[in-house]
Amino acid sequence: MFVMELSYTAPLEAVEEQMDAHIAWLDGYYASGVFLASGRKVPREGGVILAGGVSRTEIERIAAEDPFTVAGVCAYRITEFIATKTSADLATVRENPLGQHTA
Cα(103)–Cα(90) distance, rounded to whole angstroms? 9
pTM of model > 0.85:
yes
pLDDT tens by residue, 54-100: 999 999 999 999 999 999 999 999 999 998 888 888 777 877 766 55
Cα(12)–Cα(31) distance, rounded to whole angstroms? 27
Could you tell me if 79 and 3 are in contact, meaning their C-beta atoms sit under 8 angstroms apart?
yes
